[in-house]
Amino acid sequence: MTAIDIPEMFGTIDRKDSRGLLNFMKKNAGFRFSNIPEIEGRENIFNFLEQFFGSVKALKHDQLEYWQKNDRISVMGRVSYTRHDDSSFAVPFSVVLEMDKDKIKRYLIFSDASQLYTD
């Protein structure tokens, strides 16, 4: 059992619920998506998520595997994106969550989404 409900958290992401995802995080959390610089603080993370979620029509995480060791949760799976033109793109991902009890203090996403916005 992990410190947070991983399927519930990814369901929140798949609903593009920025505020809901922030409920899993500490107020001063850090967040990094792929190779962008790390963002700090829930409001900055919210602004990033709103922009990112708005840039895709839909997304869906599946094939989730996860485990916790000490204060880190590792998650692997596949994310499928639906672009606004209804084309799709899928890619494997890994996430490392650094926890402080039951809240995320750092959310690190490792994925190559570079083809998401190409034609």
pTM: 0.94
* Per-residue confidence (pLDDT) for residue 3, from 0 to 100: 87
- Give yes or no for residue 81 having a pLDDT over 70: yes
Domains of the chain: 6-111 (3.10.450.50)
Task: Say if residues 3 and 73 touch (Cβ distance below 8 Å).
Answer: yes
What is the per-residue pLDDT across 38-68, written as a single tens digit (0 to 9) for each?
999 999 999 999 999 999 999 999 999 999 9
| Pairing, β 25-33 against β 103-111 | parallel
